[in-house]
Amino acid sequence: MHALKVTGLHKTYRGGHVALRGIDLEVEEGDFFALLGSNGAGKSTAIGIVSSLVTKSGGRVLVFGHDLDREPEEVRRCIGLVPQEFNFNQWEPVEEIVINQAGYYGIPRREARARAERMLRQLELWDRRRTQARELSGGLKRRLMIARALVHEPRLLILDEPTAGVDIEIRRSMWAFLQELNRNGATIILTTHYLEEAESLCRNIAIINHGCIVERSRMSELLNRLHVETFVLNLAARLAAAPNLPGYEARLLDPVTLEVRVNRDQGLNRLFELLTEQDVEVVSLRNKQNRLEQIFIGMIDDAREGARAP
């Protein structure tokens, strides 16, 4: 069963800005899934539509088989959301925020109290339960949003950039918490623009760029591809066939152009040794960037800008 199945999702904001251009996405039950993309790619818009915060312009959303258009309440019951921006009542005490959220899902007050206590203890917020939300630090606010999202025990937890602006220690403890949750059966989708975060947590990923899904694969597979660099070599003399280069993947694009894929840990010395042995003379060499790398470079720039911002 798919925890989430999205087809042909479109979103045009009022004012005409097109944020999503027909997105297809499938997330298996039990998965730990990352939606990667740079700032403005459309991650929050997609998440917003799935969690009923944004109205879609077109397409279909199924959550555990429930259609968002026909059974919106069933869909909402399945989902817990940790939004990108803090969105609780700043003046409300921590405990009440969680208890009230439980109430909206129909959990009776007594039970809601018990659950709120459990969640707040787990997230180390219990001592601060009477504190008004606005007095919490950024990291604690994030954790409060996680407690609130989990109080109705959703089957699908969606986190929109949960670790943005959270220091490294809290980030690691949050990762551990999410992994534990996933081991206990919850499906988790998170958006991030840190490749590192997706790498340490997620099994499957999709990359979204300018409102389109440009990549959908297993994390391990993606990493393999990212660890390979492709070089294009211009040769002095024409070759009839690619030279024999054990350990490297090479193909002749034309008689004087050779393309070689090199693992990042292999290095180029051995390649040139092999070429020299076979009397292949290289005139020039350039690094061929793949589309995926370009996207990631964009994301890394974003992340740097984010880190610089106050």
Partner 1 sequence: MSRWRRYRIAFETLLIKEVLRFVRIWIQTVLPAAITTALYFIIFGTLIGGRIGEMDGYPYIDFIVPGLILMAVITNSYSNVVSSFFSAKYQRHVEELLISPVPNWVILAGYVGGGMARGVVVGVAVTLVSLLFTEVRVHSYMLTLVVFVLTSVLFALGGFINAVYANSFDDISIVPTFVLTPLTYLGGVFYSIDMLPTLWQNVSLANPVLYMINAFRFGILGVSDIDPRLAVLVILLFIAGLTAFALSLLSRGVGIKN
Ligand X SMILES: Nc1ncnc2c1ncn2[C@@H]1O[C@H](COP(=O)(O)OP(=O)(O)O)[C@@H](O)[C@H]1O
Chosen from Mg ion, partner 1, ligand X, none, partner binding at 298 (C-beta under 5 to 8 Å by type): none
Residue 40 in contact with ligand X, rule: CB under 6 A: yes
* Phi, psi for 197 (deg, rounded to 5): -65, -45
Q: Which of 39, 52, 131, 179 binds partner 1 (CB under 8 A)?
A: 52
Binding segment for partner 1 (CB under 8 A), chosen from 80-88, 118-126, 232-240, 251-259, is: 80-88
With CB under 5 to 8 Å by kind, the binding choice for 103 among ligand X, partner 1, Mg ion, none is partner 1
Stretch that binds partner 1, among 47-55, 221-229, 246-254, 279-287 (CB under 8 A): 47-55
Residue 116 to residue 94: CA distance in whole angstroms: 10
Residue 70: CB minimum distance to partner 1, A: 14
Query: Residue holding tokens 């659950």?
Result: 115
Question: Which of 42, 80 has the CB closer to ligand X?
Answer: 42
- Cα angle for residues 143, 102, 70 (degrees, 5° grid): 110
CB of 86 to partner 1, least distance (A): 8
- Choose between 115 and 171: whose C-beta lies nearer to Mg ion: 171
In the complex with ligand X, the residue whose CB is nearer, 41 or 123, is 41
Instruction: State whether residue 9 is helix, strand or coil.
Output: strand
Rounded Cα–Cα distance for residues 164 and 262 (Å): 34
# residues near ligand X by CB under 6 A: 12
CB 176 within 8 A of CB 32: no
How far apart (Å, rounded) are the C-alpha atoms in residues 277 and 226? 29
Residue 37's binding partner among Mg ion, ligand X, partner 1, none (Cβ under 5 to 8 angstroms by kind) is ligand X
CA distance 79 to 138: 24
Q: What letter would DSSP give residue 14?
A: T
Q: Which of 49, 132, 142 is nearest to 91 (CA)?
A: 132
Binding region for ligand X (CB under 6 A): 13, 15, 17, 19, 37, 39-45
